[in-house]
Structure 1
């Protein structure tokens, strides 16, 4: 999309005249312009729809994409940003459009005053929840939380993905994390929940405090209690909890913009590197993709990362522009 086309789409969006296809096109353009690995979103200071719209206008104007005055942007009473916000949650905002701190990812089923967050495949997102608790969401995660917690408890849902929680202590108001297969109940602590549907298992690891784990189902069973450096793993096939010592690797290292892989296939490692460094990695021997590795990567140059992977897994590679061939 060239600059003129972007100007036209931006004008139509601000005026509330963009079609669904045009909104999707604008959203795709945002996604392609990644500006960082970590996004911070403060959900405690919501903005009105018009404030979001005005800030969007100012950001577009500051980047030279618009040349009109704010009062020249028509405002339509029936303009609805809600349907677009679900998609724009994943936008990196090349025009500094970090406006999804207002109503990030409100889904179309917002019948119980909840918000839905979808994290794009090239981001880690940090949320400040209404009670002051913090949650870091890994790439590909889907997370739901209420705009305001009830007096009885503070319940959130990790529908898919991975999240690290730092829960603010409130003795009379337990914090509950629901996943597809289990519930995590705490009063105030820090812990990691990994529940990617594609992996077929759910893992909970504790860093500080005490965590109670209960399985979902018709039968009520006593909660499994976890202390620091302990974890449980629930397999979708076996449907029972396995308690063990948490691995030595820092459970929350991935929150600090690090890439943490625990016995991950090289296929998945390469996929993450492709998204972060915008390259294409191809192995001449397909069996290499099934090799597994445990490694933590920081902000090293891609050439350093490939050297470490090649040394560890015994392969040679060639880097040419945005393509890496493994021989």
Structure 2
């Protein structure tokens, strides 16, 4: 109903028969339908070459020229009295129909303009036991670990940051572009970089997120109230504790605004110069002095299984190891040789650590 009233008032305005009360009502409606203001100006141009688009400044200039032409017309060009009722109805109907058409075309034009500026996103998803890689439009190479998801645009915009969103773990070799810094968004933090290679691990079910820099330099910006910025140098990693998302209460509001304590450490190597944080890119499963509950999470992603603890105390045990082609049973048997735990598979096929 409001749109119909808007068309009718615009038609009366073009016919020069708008009352002060109607003018006030028209302005209110134009605030509700901003596209109509643009169409109103275009309609006032009286003519426009087909297929030519005008900027707002050009529209104003054309409108001013049109008004000058109207002022220079002889006085008898205008009606000295209102046209007959039937002719007024036809005039209103014609103008309203014109506004309706232009309003629709204007809305479509604005929609297509927004579509041009909104990037089309692609998504790469890996299930458990799967690893994949993708070459981004700018030449950046990304390796995606098991159980991960990467959202990225099909085309990066010119003169704008290159932005992707990660859930899980990925290794990036970023193509340098000083005009368009590369940004990786996760729930725990954002990584800002120009050109480098680094690893990000940010699985939603884990209690920490880790950024590991191999080459170049990056800035890690925390997604908390502090927006803390931490710079990393080559062979450094940053571990950020991640707490479960809960609704704010009077008890935890203070905790939410308290800066998170983060941990910056050096990357270390295992045998054959293997870096545990990036070994998975070479299809190697590696960990160094890692708690067993975190090792188990890696095994679940790597082999696509579920592993349970019958004794929670075993979660705090620490292990170091490198595996490549071993089966899950072989890995568990190797860890079991430390005599710190045992494991078995129940009648339903579930794996338990005792």
TM-score (normalised: structure 2): 0.51
Aligned residues: 215
Aligned to 2:239: 233
Cα–Cα, structure 1 residues 288 and 181, in superposed 2: closer, same or farther, change >3 Å?
Answer: closer
Kept in 1, the 8 Å contact 2:190–2:220? The answer is: yes
Q: Which ranges in structure 1 are unaligned for 5 or more consecutive residues?
A: 1-110
Which residue number corresponds to residue 260 of structure 1?
286
Corresponding position of 2:193: 186
**CA deviation vs aligned residue, 1:27-57 (integer Å, no higher than 9, x gap):** xxxxxxxxxxxxxxxxxxxxxxxxxxxxxxx
Which of 130, 148, 153 matches 2:137? 130
Q: Contact (CA 8 Å) 2:290, 2:319: kept in 1 or not?
A: yes
Which whole-Å deviations, capped at 9, do the CAs of 1:287-310 have from their partners, x for residues lacking one?
A: 545534232211135554344212
Separation in structure 2 between the aligned mates of residue 190 and residue 303 of structure 1, nearest angstrom:
33
- Please state if 1:149 is matched with 2:156: yes
The structure with higher relative contact order (CA 8 Å, sep 6+) is: 1
> How far apart are residue 195 of structure 1 and its match?
1.2
Distance in 1, Cα, partners of 2:353 & 2:242: 35
Matches of 2:222 and 2:306, distance apart in 1 = 41
* In structure 1, distance between residues paired with 2:312 and 2:225: 44
Summarize the alignment of residues 16-165 of structure 1 with structure 2, pairs less than 5 Å apart.
112-151=119-158, 152-158=160-166, 160-165=167-172
Unpaired stretches in structure 2, ≥5 consecutive residues: 1-117, 244-258
Secondary structure of the structure 1 residue equivalent to 2:337: helix
1:274–1:189 CA distance, 2 compared to 1 (3 A): closer
Query: Offset at 1:278?
Result: 7.6
Larger Rg belongs to: 2
Which of 196, 203, 214 is the aligned partner of 2:221?
214
Superposed, which structure 2 residues align to 1:290-309 within 5 Å?
A: 291-302=317-328, 304-309=330-335
SS of the residue corresponding to residue 161 of structure 1 reads: strand
Cα RMSD between the aligned structures? 3.4
Distance in 2, Cα, partners of 1:219 & 1:324: 41
Scaled by the length of structure 1, the TM-score of the pair is: 0.55
Instruction: Decide which structure has greater strand share.
Output: 1
Structure with the largest fraction of helix: 2
Deviation of the 1:247 alpha carbon:
3.3
